């Protein structure tokens, strides 16, 4: 009776969290999936991202083996307040621990090549002051091998957690900490420009349940976790190893002679994005008019008000009740309520980053296409003390983290084809006015700075010469393996 009752409780366990209800369902192997994929660790507001170099393969493997025992999986209760730990590797890291070229070739090409390539520089708009040659981390020849994610409920616990992991590294030896980024979630969960962040996340089938009216946001798990069906109804390409090298029989079988190294893993995009807070605020102060005060103008650029309330639902002023209501703040489409962008301009950040049902040829097809280009965002603001001409200044921005199983079709597509496209949705000479790769300084001389078009009656408002508010300071593409895969890599 006890066992049956427990089974019943488990099956019906429903937890109201963020915008969706989380239901523990069979299907997704939650105990093999790293927690960061499906959880934002909202209660663990303090985090370090530690970038590690392996001096030799033994150090890397031993460290992975020990760290495996600390990893937070998706099975652990979201309400707990203990620390969370996750681990990701670069292609260089996999090579360093001895993975052969033929196995590495089975990983996605973008991951193999890394973020710092001439081709990617153009795709991602990493030019001018964001040029890869000026990056602090992730340059082509930097030996970045692994990324350790540490999350805790307060700064003291975070520092203790860091010390614990640093002493593991010191004991093993042959491991170098190359960078450590500190990031935090403020009480309001606002990003440094002052807007609530982390609202619109895809709901993952088999894990989340949609609030009424938000079924359009349900996305197949294979878009975010390898080994499951994706939005094309197929299982995404995975990384493979020959049977013979999995001597401890740790990995699931793919075929008679291959094992699945990707299963329950995913690809992770990391970008350190510096935000020019003064430049942003001054711009809006200078361009405020009687029609648009600075706050309304900012909202038109973002597509949401600072509280998170979407302009589609609250076109005239902020409504914190909507912005803080998980059941309402993301339950909107564009075609019916705002086809011409009179509330939320086509060029605004959120409408570019996810145009939902607003693109041609029809709302149905637009939604189908848009939902094949979704990412789970796990970014947080960062804070760093910098020495500028002998003076200590705080540098702020966001550590942008995107989770997807197909970097090219998901993150890179959004960045290139929507965010940075000058002709997005019938516009011209425009880029994302908040995060776009607006030309600056020595970059592409003669090219105009970006324009923002705000549709309104009787004539639209056009703002020209918008400067670049966000610069890239570095980044990389990572593989976040399943737990069995991590044990295999450590073996
Ligand atoms: C410093 C840079 C950035 C800032 C300050 C920023 C800020 C925001 C804010 C305030 C929101 C609305 C709140 C929410 O839905 O969570 C948002 C949404 C979003 N952002 Fe960004 N963002 C930045 C960079 C990026 C980049 C580089 C991408 C992708 C290439 C991106 C993709 C998205 C997506 C997909 C959404 C959700 C849109 C939706 O589904 O409605 N963001 N961002």
Atom number of ligand 1 nearest to Cα 273: 1
> Measured between alpha carbons, how far is 18 from 420 in angstroms, rounded to an integer?
29
Residues 6 or more apart whose CB falls under 8 angstroms from that of 420 comprise 125, 431, 432, 436, 437
Pair 295, 258: CB distance under 8 Å:
no
Helix (H) or strand (E) holding 19: none
- Is the Cα torsion angle 135, 175, 73, 232 positive or negative in sign? positive
Distance CA 323, CA 73 (A): 30
* Residue having the nearest C-alpha atom to atom 30 of ligand 1: 415
Whether the CA torsion 110, 34, 231, 423 is positive or negative: it is negative
Tell me the three state secondary structure of residue 255: strand
Q: Count of alpha carbons within 13 Å of 334, Cβ hemisphere only?
A: 28
DSSP output for 28-51: S-GGGSBHHHH---TT--EEEEEE
Q: Residue 422 C-alpha to ligand 1 middle, in angstroms?
A: 18
Full pLDDT tens readout for the chain, 491 residues: 566 665 544 434 333 333 333 434 449 999 999 999 999 999 999 999 999 999 999 999 999 999 999 999 999 776 666 799 999 999 999 999 999 999 999 999 999 999 999 999 999 999 989 999 999 999 999 999 999 999 999 999 999 999 999 999 999 999 999 999 999 998 889 999 999 999 999 999 999 999 988 999 999 999 999 999 999 999 999 999 999 999 999 999 999 999 999 999 999 999 999 999 999 999 999 999 988 999 999 999 999 999 999 999 999 999 999 999 999 999 999 999 999 999 999 999 999 999 999 999 999 999 999 999 999 999 999 999 988 888 999 999 999 999 999 999 999 999 999 999 989 999 988 999 999 998 765 455 555 678 999 999 999 999 988 999 999 999 999 999 999 999 999 99
Give the Å distances, CA to CA, from 135 to 91, 110, 407: 19, 19, 21
Q: CA 209 from chain center: how many Å?
A: 21
Taking the centre of ligand 1 as the mean of its atom positions, its distance from the CA of residue 403, in whole angstroms, is: 13
The answer to whether the CB of 414 is under 6 A from ligand 1 is yes
Q: Is the CB of 274 under 6 A from ligand 1?
A: no
402: tokens are 């995107």
Q: CA 117, 121, 122 angle in degrees (round to 5)?
A: 125
State pTM to two decimals.
0.94
Q: Ligand 1 centroid to 377 CA: how many Å?
A: 8
Q: How many CB atoms lie within 10 A of CB 15?
A: 11
Q: Decide: 366 in ligand 1 pocket, CB within 6 A.
A: no
- The DSSP 8-state label assigned to residue 416 in this structure reads I
């Amino acid at each position: 009776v006890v066992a049956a009752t427990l089974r019943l409780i488990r099956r019906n366990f429903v937890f109201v969290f963020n915008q969706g209800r989380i239901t523990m369902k069979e299907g997704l192997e939650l105990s093999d999936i790293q927690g960061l994929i499906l959880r934002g660790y909202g209660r663990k507001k303090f985090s370090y991202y530690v970038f590690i170099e392996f001096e030799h393969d033994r150090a890397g493997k031993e460290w992975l083996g020990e760290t495996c025992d600390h990893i937070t999986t998706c099975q652990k209760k979201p309400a707990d307040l203990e620390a969370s730990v996750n681990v990701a590797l670069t292609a260089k890291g996999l090579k360093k621990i001895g993975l052969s070229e033929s196995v590495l070739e089975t990983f996605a090409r973008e991951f193999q090549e890394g973020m710092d390539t001439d081709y990617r520089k153009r795709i991602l708009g990493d030019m001018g002051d964001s040029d890869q040659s000026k990056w602090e981390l992730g340059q082509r020849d930097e030996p970045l091998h692994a990324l350790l994610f540490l999350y805790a409920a307060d700064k003291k616990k975070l520092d203790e957690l860091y010390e614990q992991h640093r002493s593991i590294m010191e004991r093993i030896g042959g491991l170098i900490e190359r960078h450590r980024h500190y990031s935090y979630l403020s009480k309001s969960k606002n990003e440094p420009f002052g807007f609530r962040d982390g609202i619109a996340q895809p709901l993952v089938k088999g894990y989340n349940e949609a609030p009424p009216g938000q079924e359009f946001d349900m996305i197949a798990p294979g878009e975010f976790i390898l080994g499951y069906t994706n939005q094309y109804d197929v299982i995404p390409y995975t990384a493979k190893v020959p049977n013979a090298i999995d001597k401890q029989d740790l990995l699931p079988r793919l075929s008679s002679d291959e094992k699945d190294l990707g299963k329950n893993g995913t690809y992770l995009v990391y970008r350190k994005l510096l935000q020019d807070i003064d430049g942003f605020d001054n711009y809006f102060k200078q361009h405020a008019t009687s029609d648009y005060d600075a706050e309304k103008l900012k909202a038109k650029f973002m597509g949401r008000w600072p509280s998170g309330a979407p302009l589609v639902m609250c076109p005239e002023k902020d409504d914190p009740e909507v912005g803080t209501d998980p059941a309402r703040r993301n339950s909107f489409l564009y075609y019916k309520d705002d086809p011409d962008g009179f509330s939320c301009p086509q060029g605004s950040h959120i409408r570019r980053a996810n145009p939902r049902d607003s693109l041609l040829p029809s709302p149905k097809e637009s939604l189908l296409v848009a939902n094949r280009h979704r990412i789970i965002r796990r970014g947080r603001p960062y804070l760093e003390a910098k020495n500028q001409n002998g003076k200590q200044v705080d540098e702020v921005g966001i550590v942008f983290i995107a989770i997807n199983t197909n970097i090219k079709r998901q993150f890179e597509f959004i960045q290139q084809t929507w965010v940075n496209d000058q002709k997005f949705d019938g516009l011209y000479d425009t880029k994302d006015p908040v995060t776009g790769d607006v030309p600056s300084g020595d970059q592409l001389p003669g090219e105009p700075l970006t324009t923002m078009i705000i549709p309104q009656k009787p004539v639209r408002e056009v703002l020209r010469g918008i400067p670049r508010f966000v610069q890239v300071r570095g980044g990389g593409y990572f593989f976040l393996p399943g737990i069995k895969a991590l044990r295999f890599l450590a073996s």
